[in-house]
Structure 1
């Protein structure tokens, strides 16, 4: 590959998966310092890439707006507008890291002469590629997913010995906003962040366990809950179970950039396998303690020696199902990871 070529990465979603794809930037920029890298991404994860020092151009697909509208010609027109923007960049290579039909289509429409994906990709996405890497099991529980994302970079000639994340630096405005939010915390206590909510019910840790953990940590730490506005119902149930324990609720009050700055000031983060946990891991500042149920502890663990991935290691794990097929009891895989196990990692 010529060192000055332009490369488009197509990884549209989700937040955690975009974070897992970030080491590709370091691999490409280290091997080919003069290359220019663009990234096509949906709006929910765009802040991870905008102003990222290793990304030269970000092409944002406003999926949230499209979803609110439903099917409409205006959505199609906006989609084609993003495609036109991408085509104007005249990319030489498009790498489809997501390998779904939608990402393959964006790769194909980019106009790049070389389009790279794995053979046998999901949803027949490899039909859009003209350079195909050997087939693989995307849900191999023993293979680190980041290694799979690095394979196209290695194919192009980059070395992928290191896993290095790149995030945008905090602006002065972001620092001031987080300063203001943290001004209500107890001075002198370190921060412990809880991120209890996920989209998959099969990733949910027991609410009683979250409450017990809150009770056992709130005297020594400023315990901060994070999430979206709709996660407040879950957080309210947890804090009600905890009784009079002290806590701070930032759910629905932080952007991705503000979360990055918050994590830079945090002692440790407790979360299931979800986007905020992977953002925290990418900062390499707090210790990240991740609780695994339906997903694989060796496939998407936090990276680094000070981090921990906790799993019950049952025979049915990982099942990669959004909803546990067991109807008679709470998920055993999550029930068998106890607050004591989390505390051992935190302290």
Structure 2
């Protein structure tokens, strides 16, 4: 079987009244894809738009006015049944999920993730038109049309802008954006208030990812935390997941005045804390990229991954040493030394922070 031909540059808008977007994870990628959602809504204001996502990510989409429906993929339950050898029960769950998707009568499903798993979920929807962005791992054979990957390297959300242009969507003002409910924001601000932290008076630290080669050293974070309140007048708030609690406590230490909230918030609450920060400093991770969506001043540290050198906002500074081995992505060649991150000086981070804090951006 041959892969379907790529989508032509012009697309007839037929069959875009019920649209399913498939991008199940990860946090940063959902942030990067968010302007595609807004452009789709602008082009098809009467369409029913659903987003298929893993449960842990739902908090980033549930309050978005561009989304009519958030569909949760029960990945954890399916994985548990598979590992327990309960294949018949798993097959029943998959059939039920597929029936539920088909009941949605989607005429178009768009796979924004490009992987076999996302392509399979797109196919399960039964949508007669299935569009994949740069589909690979065999997912291209599950699509009716494939848009080859494209865009401008180094420009944030570039690949999704490229897809939007191919689909004939308006890409003016194509920037990441997030919307959170008032209830989520109240809970987040209450947690800060409990520790004596007021909106706009703190700097978010986002030090954690799932890959060691993307991390800055704990010693560097601790040194930065010691100087943040003294030099910037901002209290550090360290965010992360439940597995990051101990590391967050080490970064905060007892001599910095920093507040470690890793593992103490939901994802949506952490996003709200980012939204109300005076400044965000982070590595290549989802919480960091949220700062762009919320137009917050941001200093971001890249090493093993290709950075977005153009974030589309004047109050974003990217630190990337540009070593010959960078980006190495998932195959580092430095034997765990990670000089691309280790050699970033906290003093430079502070200098960049001063620049973004003084940058003027349009409202």
Common fold: TM-score over 0.5: yes
SS, match of residue 257 in structure 2: coil
SS, match of residue 22 in structure 1: helix
SS, match of residue 7 in structure 1: strand
1:336 aligned partner: 343
- CA offsets per residue over residues 114-161 of structure 1, 9 Å max, x none? 111245x3212111111122355xxx9925362212333322221213
TM-score where L is the length of structure 1: 0.89
| Matching of residue 274 in structure 1 with residue 285 in structure 2 | yes
| Matching of residue 55 in structure 1 with residue 67 in structure 2 | yes
| Matching of residue 112 in structure 1 with residue 119 in structure 2 | no
Deviates more, 1:101-110 or 1:302-311: 302-311
Contact residue 204 and residue 239 of structure 2 kept, 8 A: yes
TM-score where L is the length of structure 2: 0.85
SS, match of residue 63 in structure 2: coil
1:305 aligned partner: 314
* Aligned mate of 2:250, from 237, 248, 255: 237
Could you list the runs of 5+ residues in structure 1 that have no partner in the other structure?
A: none
| Matching of residue 290 in structure 1 with residue 300 in structure 2 | yes
| Matching of residue 98 in structure 1 with residue 113 in structure 2 | yes
2:8 aligned partner: none
Contact residue 281 and residue 288 of structure 1 kept, 8 A: yes
- CA offsets per residue over residues 272-292 of structure 1, 9 Å max, x none? 0001112232122x2121100
Cα deviation, residue 46, structure 1: 1.5
- CA offsets per residue over residues 218-265 of structure 1, 9 Å max, x none? 33222111111210222233344xx52211111111112212221222
1:201 to 1:163, Cα distance in 2 relative to 1, 3 A: same
Contact residue 206 and residue 335 of structure 1 kept, 8 A: yes
SS, match of residue 193 in structure 1: strand
| Matching of residue 26 in structure 1 with residue 35 in structure 2 | no
Could you list the runs of 5+ residues in structure 2 that have no partner in the other structure?
A: 1-12, 355-363
Provide the C-alpha distance between the structure 2 equivalents of 1:226 and 1:274, rounded to a whole number of angstroms. 11
* Aligned mate of 1:318, from 322, 327, 332: 327
Provide the C-alpha distance between the structure 2 equivalents of 1:61 and 1:164, rounded to a whole number of angstroms. 27
Cα deviation, residue 181, structure 1: 3.0
Cα deviation, residue 80, structure 1: 3.2
* Aligned mate of 1:8, from 6, 20, 26: 20
Provide the C-alpha distance between the structure 1 equivalents of 2:198 and 2:144, rounded to a whole number of angstroms. 58
SS, match of residue 59 in structure 1: strand
1:24 to 1:56, Cα distance in 2 relative to 1, 3 A: same
Deviates more, 1:20-29 or 1:159-168: 159-168
Count of residue pairs brought into register by the alignment: 337
Contact residue 19 and residue 49 of structure 2 kept, 8 A: yes
2:360 aligned partner: none
1:69 to 1:237, Cα distance in 2 relative to 1, 3 A: farther
Cα deviation, residue 183, structure 1: 3.3
Contact residue 17 and residue 107 of structure 2 kept, 8 A: yes
Cα deviation, residue 30, structure 1: 1.3
